[in-house]
Structures are given as structure tokens and as C-alpha cells.
Structure 1
Amino acid sequence: MRNYFFLYLILAVIIASCGPSNKSDDLEANDQSSSSVMEEQVQMIPIQTPSGEFKVWTQRIGENPSMKVLLLHGGPGMSHLQYGNFKDYFPEEGIEFIWYDQLGSALSDQPDDSTLWTIERFVDEVEQVRQALGLNKDNFYLLGQSWGGMLGMEYAFKHQENLKGLIICNMMSSLDEYENYAKEVLGPQMPEEVFSELMEIEKNGDFENPRYMELLSEHHYPYHFLRMNPSEWPEEINRMMELVNPNVYVYMQGHSEFGITPGASLKGWDVRDQLKDITVPTLVVGATHDTMDPTHMEWMSKEAANGRFLLCPNGSHLSQYDDPEHFFPGVIQFIKDVDSAEF
């Protein structure tokens, strides 16, 4: 759930340091780096929507008849690139996974139609992707991070009969609770004058003020988004940020880093009372330094009928990158435990 103007700032840094770039160059670079590691299988899947047919991009890595993981990226409007390092962990464990760009993102079609950017339509899209890929209750694991975790929960509420396991990463079940955590816990960890200035900018709706991003880039993102020096961020994360679709992101999420901007379509989303309806094996992944409250996510794991909690003590919002030592062993163990009926 990242702020678009921060992404624009990162893009400016990339362009300044690397010279001219464009979308096709970046995507080609990603394809080349992936193909040098493993055999790829790319499939453009037709999706039926109320506005007609569009195509979404998927790429299957590996093959396993009983462990297939479909990855739902965050954003909304970002891309599969946030899972770039999964290729370094899942294949050696024999786990098949599928990179997937949701409609409006990166390698998928990007229609200019805001009526498509609803939770219900994205859930229907995931179901169509599942069917096209031949995923079913005997092999289908759904992993979503941030917005992808929200989408994963919503999919489970409607279609959990198709799931073998659900993995919710770095996403709370209430956006109001997320806003409270950001403003009451994370914000006060900053110097008082910094947080006060940020709240004044938010109060005035002055999100394009460069001071807003300047403060967040120094006092928030390196602590709670990705705990690395920005100069050391993985290339796939830089490309992900460059390729974000603001038309989707801003419409659904808005601009604020401390909640959902009033008027954004996700405002007020809350499924706390529905978690008990999720009966499939469920792993909830939280991180100590996340933008999302790990205590809330641990509670979520207990609300689900068959839940488990994984804490990444050194991680933040992208814990697969800043705490892979805990993220991947925990996720892999969950998948294998469910597969062997030892969960």
C-alpha cells in the first residue's frame, strides 16, 4: 500500500543514475534475468470483465502436481516484480509458483477505465486466472502481500473451496486499524517535529508538496517499507516502482502514507468479523518493523479456523527482502506441512 509520489521520486533517481529508460526495456531486462536462471512458461490469460475482454500476464516457474503458488502483488497497480527473489528459494524446494500481473499492471493490459478497479472484479479475475491455469483444491496455494493479502482474503471468502492453502503477508484485516497503527504507533516514533509537519501536510491535502516525500524518505520508508539503504535496493524493486500504474493505485488507495485518502475506493474496508469463515489452512505473515501491526496479524491467525502465524523479526513491509532468513523458511514449511497433511 505505497504512496505513488514516493514511487515517482524513486523513478527520478533511477533515471538520473541510469540514463534513459522505458517500460519495454525494463520488462525485457526482467525477462532476460529470469530466463538465465530457469525455464519459463508465459501465458497471457483472457479475462472477461463488464467492460469487455482483456489479457493478464502470468509466468509459471517450476512444476509440481501438488504445490502450486499463485502470487498476488501489492499496490494496487504494482507488479509481480515484488516477488522477484522467490526464484532463489522456491525452485530448490520443488515448489511451483506463478508470477502474475493483475489487470492494469505492468505486462498485463492497462485499460483506462476506473469502473474496473473494484475488489469484486479483481476477485473474479483471480478466479478466471485459477481456472485458466488448472489450479484446484488439491494443489492451489494463494499468496498475497499488502493489497495482494487483502485480495487473497476476499478471494477466500468467496471461493475457498478451490484453495489448498492461503498465505496472507503484511496485511491487516481492517484499514481503519491500519490507519490507527500508522498514526498512533509508527508516526510517534519519528522526531516530534517531523511527524507534526507530516500531519499538517496531510490535513491540508498537500500531497504533492516535495517536503512530504522528503520527510517520509528519510524517517519512514527505510524503517518500515524496506530496511535497506535505498542505494542497495534490489533492481526488481526499483523496476516495480518505476512501472506502477498510478491510475489504479490512486483511485483505490489514495495518496496518504498514514491511512486511506478520503474518496479512495478502499476507504473503510474491514473484514475482521469474516476471518472466522476462512477454514482452509492459513498462514499470516507479519514483521516487527512493518507498516502493518504484527500484533493484529497474529490475532488474525487465531481468528481463522486453521491459522498459523509467522513473525519476521528483522523484516518490514517487504520482509521477503529484508528478512528472507525467516520469511522463506516459514512460508516453505507451511506449504510443505499442508501438502503432507501435517499442518
Structure 2
Amino acid sequence: MIMFSFHEGTLPFDCPAAGKPCETYYKQFGDLKCGKTPLIVLHGGPGGIHDAMIALADLQEQHGVPVVFYDQIGNGKSTHLREKRGDTTFWTADLFKAELRNLIKKLDLESSGYDILGCSWGGMLAGDFATDQPKGLRRLILSNANARFTEWRRSEIACIGALPQHLADAMFDADARTDFSNPLYREAKLAFFKKHFYRYGDFPAEFQTTMAAFGDDDTVNFTMQGPHSVTTGPLLQWDIVPRLHLIQAPTLIVNGEYDVADQGCNQPFFDNIPKVRWITMREASHLPFLELREEYIKLVAQFLGY
């Protein structure tokens, strides 16, 4: 884990539907008023935490870029709402966009401007947010994301199907039965992660901490993606392709050669966003900021103008 100095705190988030006061936890590296555009980092999931993305703090150390991480509501050190498990009318992209708008306003970033980098679900959220043409958004990075969730599901199925037959069968059978107790299923899930999420040996601490968070409180992920390895939840209805042309910010698309967020997931971004570049990182998969950290940080810094 990175040990640079940082400031952390919580921001009140007015969410009447939650039925109780809510707070968003954030961690800030650098001075937001230093003259360089702050970067807001959106973690994956839904249901993950910011820890997996902490490598982006390298931008502060190397280039003096202020970087803001936060745990989305329901996750990590932000307010948990376990009583909302299964409430599909509550856990929506609109909820998380409202939280992001609140964070930007509470940190007073609208007037000075900000960049956004979102990974996986965070990239989906970032793209969705950008279609609203928010005030102050300078540049956008969509990392390992997708523009419509049915494409992610298609790729999930293909990636599982490409595993050794006995492992693929174990995963599909577990989904069909909603029974994940078979040790072969756990072996298959590990093989899937080692091929399509992190390909460089033992999982780093940042990734392990994030995966543990899913187990600690599955409220958000269970409700939005469903209980299965292959998504069956309401996220399947999520699709921003018809609105991508509304994104005004210059945009960088990043995915990995072995990423679940494959070419089909990202092509709509490239075809529809007016000002866009696309880089597929060789020998990387879904977590290139952990697999090829220096290379990833360099390309992000270059896109942001550093």
C-alpha cells in the first residue's frame, strides 16, 4: 500500500430514501487548490472500495496532481445500508451519480474544474455522469469499463466458457443452482480471476482488501448484479450508448488485452464519444493499474497533460 501523506474525512450526503443520515468517506492526496486539476477516482463493483485504486496516488507523488478517492455509499468507510439489500429501486446509477455530484460540490471543485477516472463499474458510472454534461469536468478516463451491461455479460460468459471444461462447467452449474459451495467452483473462480483480472501471480493486498469488502457487505453488489457469477440483476438494463454523444470532455478509454471489458464492451465508447482515444494495454487484464502500474500511470499522466 502507498504511504504518502493524505487527508481523509467524511462528507454529508442528503439521501432521504435511505431513511437515515448518510456520509461519504473520502481520502485526498495533495492540495485541491494547488493550481493543478484534481483527479477524482471512482472504484469498481458495484460494492467495491477505493483501496484497489490507490496506485493512482502515484500521480500526486510524481506530478503533484491532487487525487481524491472515495468509498461509494453502502461500501467501505461510507454509510452502510444493509437494510436496503434487495431494494432495486434504491440502488441505482442515479443514486451514485447524486453522491458524486454531492462530493464535487462539497469539495468545491465545480468552479476550479476536475478530471474523473473510473474503473470497471466506476468507469460505467463516470461515463453515465459525463453524459449529463456536469459543470467543471475537464477530462474523462474510462478504464476497463463498458457502455452497456449486456456486453459485459456476454464477455463474462465467453471468458468463463474459455476456461478448462471442468472449471467452466463448475461455474455455470453453480450459477444454475445458486449453490456456490462446490470446491471446484471456488477453483474455477480463482482461475477466472487469475486469467482476466490479475495475471501476475499472487493477488496484491489492495485487491485482496477489496474482495474482502464484498464478503463483508454484499448489499450493493447482490442487489445490482445479482447472486450469480454471470450477472442476472437489474444492471443488465443499464445502457448509456444512446447518450454517449453528449459527452463533451476529451475522453481516454483503457482496457487490457485479456480484460473482461473486451473490445465489444468498449467499441460503443469509441464510436460515439466525440473526442476520444482508446488504448488496449498488452499483457494486461482488468486491473492494469496493479499489473502494469508504471505504464498505466504514465499513460494516464500523459492524457491529463503531465
- 1:290 counterpart = 2:263: no
Match of 2:211 among 202, 223, 241: 241
Describe the SS at the equivalent of 1:168: strand
Q: Which moved more, 1:40-49 or 1:288-297?
A: 288-297
Taking structure 1 as reference, are residues 66 and 136 closer, same or farther at Cα in structure 2, changes over 3 Å only? farther
TM-score using structure 1 length? 0.80
TM-score using structure 2 length? 0.89
Whole-Å Cα distance in 1 between the matches of residues 237 and 182 of structure 2?
26
Number of the residue aligned with 2:200:
228
Number of the residue aligned with 1:58:
26
Taking structure 1 as reference, are residues 187 and 112 closer, same or farther at Cα in structure 2, changes over 3 Å only? closer
Answer yes or no: is the 8 Å Cα contact 1:207–1:255 preserved in 2.
no
Per-residue deviation, 1:193 = 3.4
Number of the residue aligned with 1:91:
61
Per-residue deviation, 1:194 = 2.7
One-letter amino acid matched to 2:44: G
Per-residue deviation, 1:89 = 4.0
Indicate the RMSD between aligned Cα atoms, in angstroms: 2.0
Taking structure 1 as reference, are residues 290 and 137 closer, same or farther at Cα in structure 2, changes over 3 Å only? farther
One-letter amino acid matched to 2:21: E
Q: Deviations over 1:33-77 (max 9, x none)?
A: 65x532x22221000002343111111101232320111111112
Answer yes or no: is the 8 Å Cα contact 2:250–2:275 preserved in 1.
yes
Answer yes or no: is the 8 Å Cα contact 1:68–1:141 preserved in 2.
yes
| Structure 1 residue ranges (4+ consecutive) displaced by more than 4 angstroms after TM superposition | none
Number of the residue aligned with 2:8:
42
Q: What are structure 2's unaligned runs of at least 5 residues?
A: none
Whole-Å Cα distance in 2 between the matches of residues 66 and 143 of structure 1?
16
Match of 2:273 among 299, 304, 307: 304
Whole-Å Cα distance in 1 between the matches of residues 296 and 264 of structure 2?
17
Q: Deviations over 1:79-110 (max 9, x none)?
A: 11011222334421121101111111111111
Answer yes or no: is the 8 Å Cα contact 1:284–1:298 preserved in 2.
no
Taking structure 1 as reference, are residues 227 and 281 closer, same or farther at Cα in structure 2, changes over 3 Å only? same
One-letter amino acid matched to 1:165: R
Number of the residue aligned with 2:91:
117
Describe the SS at the equivalent of 1:76: coil
How do 1:164-243 and structure 2 match up within 5 A?
164-184=138-158, 186-217=159-190, 219-230=191-202, 233-243=203-213
One-letter amino acid matched to 1:126: L
Answer yes or no: is the 8 Å Cα contact 1:275–1:303 preserved in 2.
yes
Whole-Å Cα distance in 2 between the matches of residues 70 and 322 of structure 1?
21
One-letter amino acid matched to 1:166: L
Whole-Å Cα distance in 2 between the matches of residues 146 and 296 of structure 1?
11
Answer yes or no: is the 8 Å Cα contact 1:66–1:139 preserved in 2.
no
Whole-Å Cα distance in 1 between the matches of residues 12 and 129 of structure 2?
19
Answer yes or no: is the 8 Å Cα contact 2:152–2:265 preserved in 1.
no
One-letter amino acid matched to 1:257: S
Number of the residue aligned with 1:75:
45
Describe the SS at the equivalent of 2:174: helix
Taking structure 1 as reference, are residues 274 and 137 closer, same or farther at Cα in structure 2, changes over 3 Å only? farther
Describe the SS at the equivalent of 1:158: coil
